[in-house]
Structure 1
């Protein structure tokens, strides 16, 4: 077993960790797309969120509506997208977008939003009844739909294991976004869920918990009990091509230090695995 702390120690030292660069790629190791879900910076305006992501040497981002509101006119959505892109950020997706009403115009409007925002993937929270209707739009817009699990409080999809039977025969663009914290709290083995999902695993939200069953125990990645090293090893083995998005839900008013520490730990894990 690899010591979790050794990865973090090898990746950074002292205050300089905030600007730690991603590890150099190893051509013999499948590279993961480590990024940040902008929900982590939900109390920051768009320009400050982008500036912070760049200071943290982030390349990949999933955009939450706080930084690109759904209600904006298409031209303003495109303008916001270009701000992310001009900063060198690669948009891998956005959401979570909720579908609780069975209304076709609302569904189409959400896909139009994702198209204008340059999102190749939509993280979605549909009901079981609405989920099949999203497939038509995934095909029409060529936008992937990743159904997000939300733990035991979610009456539809507490685990991605609840989604997989419903999408197994759908278009390949239909799959899941695995939130590893919620999956743990749903009482599932995260590694088994990843293995079960296979190519249906389209996106991930990464965090850590000091108590694997308690939402309020979220902590900086590396300080908790979720099997980050084993998760990354499995993702590399299966040549996972989606986003591995850090979703930092604590310290909303001042998340930068925790984000930096969590990114440094994840980068340290990847550097260790590459070596």
Structure 2
């Protein structure tokens, strides 16, 4: 088994690494088959592509493999049609709009977020949704309008999902939103916007737990920061919202319904990002509950695939080589650190402050795969082959983790700290996950970031203390050719936020 094959397995949702390959019909950790799992249906809120026409948004949904749609009022129709989407469209236009949807093999299932100004308009909204074959509307009316809305829901059979914008919306608090829908039947519930919960400082998983049984639909999001109103969307699985944990909670609740991608971040990579969200969703649906709990669903483009230069010297008989295993135990019993300074949180290892973390075991030749997440201006690193943690600077090799710019290339992310710069500078976005693959074999240390080889250090070229092969100075009393070829692996806390997940190691 070559390293390229090994880290291909890392990329394939780690199914072959820890849980064994599992098809979509194989039993999950809970003993359910895929057919028995709740039916989570992926949809697109067309507001995601608000800078495009409705017809173009349909094309982009189809390209991403997203079959269900929630349309919003005001989007230019396009596709040869004049006007904007909304409940004011005449019957002929409605028929043509439905034809646009049908010819692409899509399904228009929801409308929102929409609010009527009076009873007449509310009736128009519900009649429109019914005439268009929709199942639900998302809305955010004042509480005193809810009796009318609930009555119209009962008359038409259209389900009502109460949406939550962030503060200062009165519905930002999930408990208040739940108390608003509580008096009404099961057809009135929440449009749980998990991104706005995060922006407002609420834990999305805990909020989903509180809302169990009253969720109609979701605007499902992963944001780069928590508790920050200006936080923006990132592809699912890369942000601070624990997308894996949210999907696990919905599965445990037995929720069946629509999860709409509503990507509000206007980024040049919008279409690609939406596609990545859709693919992450498909991987997560196929994953076991154990994999979801461990955040072991690998986001698209976080493949960790290593270039073929990393594959030399592997045996053909994979039985000769142990499989990759978790670097750290679930209780951290195989690590040394100051009590309280590191902790697992929903499958994520978080530095709490107070020092570095070290494996108790030593590693000589090995391949290490891990993901890391920085905050703004974070500084951290991964220590290799450390002989003495008390003297880590002089007895280990550090692969640098850095958010932000550095005038010295040997201090950028992916550098071998102070001795070798990466081949190029890669911008690290705060709050997003990035994957390192580090291969240490003999005198060679190789580093890739998100599958791109960045650093290839041949240690025997460092023959003098305090001097790099290019003549530049370094901090080290021992030339790297004489550094230990075996030692502990460490994770650095450098006084700034840092988190890790999916840490796997294979001895070579």
Q: Fold conserved (TM > 0.5)?
A: yes
Which residue of 155, 163, 172 corresponds with 1:148? 163
* 2:215 is equivalent to residue 201 of structure 1: yes
Give the Å deviation of 1:238.
1.5
State the partner residue of 1:30.
38
Where do 5+ consecutive residues of structure 2 fail to align? 1-7, 14-22, 26-33, 78-84, 292-508
How many Å separate the matches in 2 of 1:164 and 1:223? Answer: 29
> What are the superposed Cα offsets for residues 39-78 of structure 1, whole Å, 9 maximum, x if unpaired?
1111121222111111111112212221522321133123
* 2:109 is equivalent to residue 92 of structure 1: yes
State the partner residue of 1:178.
192
CA change 1:197–1:8 in 2 (3 A) is farther
Which residue of 205, 215, 230 corresponds with 1:191? 205
Give the Å deviation of 1:91.
2.5
TM-score normalised by structure 2 residue count? 0.47
CA change 1:161–1:86 in 2 (3 A) is farther
Runs of 4+ with >6 A deviation = none
> What are the superposed Cα offsets for residues 61-104 of structure 1, whole Å, 9 maximum, x if unpaired?
212221522321133123212321332212231110024x3x21
How many Å separate the matches in 2 of 1:145 and 1:40? Answer: 21
Give the Å deviation of 1:123.
0.3
Counterparts of residues 245-264 of structure 1 (less than 5 Å): 245-251=260-266, 255-264=270-279
Give the Å deviation of 1:226.
0.3
**Does the CA-based 8 Å contact 1:37-1:64 persist in structure 2?**
yes
Where do 5+ consecutive residues of structure 1 fail to align? 1-5, 12-22
**Does the CA-based 8 Å contact 1:8-1:264 persist in structure 2?**
no
Give the Å deviation of 1:7.
11
Structure index of larger Rg: 2
Which residue of 86, 96, 118 corresponds with 1:79? 96
Q: CA RMSD in A?
A: 2.3
Task: Report the 3-state secondary structure (helix = DSSP H, G, I; strand = E; otherwise coil) of the residue aligned with 2:184.
Answer: coil
> What are the superposed Cα offsets for residues 232-255 of structure 1, whole Å, 9 maximum, x if unpaired?
111112111110111111126762
Counterparts of residues 263-274 of structure 1 (less than 5 Å): 263-273=278-288
**Does the CA-based 8 Å contact 2:199-2:231 persist in structure 1?**
no
State the partner residue of 1:70.
87
How many Å separate the matches in 1 of 2:87 and 2:209? Answer: 34
Q: Mean Cα displacement is larger for which, 142-151 or 211-220?
A: 211-220
State the partner residue of 1:61.
69
CA change 1:42–1:7 in 2 (3 A) is farther
How many Å separate the matches in 1 of 2:268 and 2:132? Answer: 26
State the partner residue of 1:113.
128
Which residue of 38, 42, 54 corresponds with 1:46? 54
Larger relative strand fraction:
2
Give the Å deviation of 1:171.
2.0
Give the Å deviation of 1:105.
0.4
TM-score normalised by structure 1 residue count? 0.85
Larger relative helix fraction:
1
**Does the CA-based 8 Å contact 1:121-1:146 persist in structure 2?**
yes
**Does the CA-based 8 Å contact 2:72-2:111 persist in structure 1?**
yes
Give the Å deviation of 1:120.
0.7
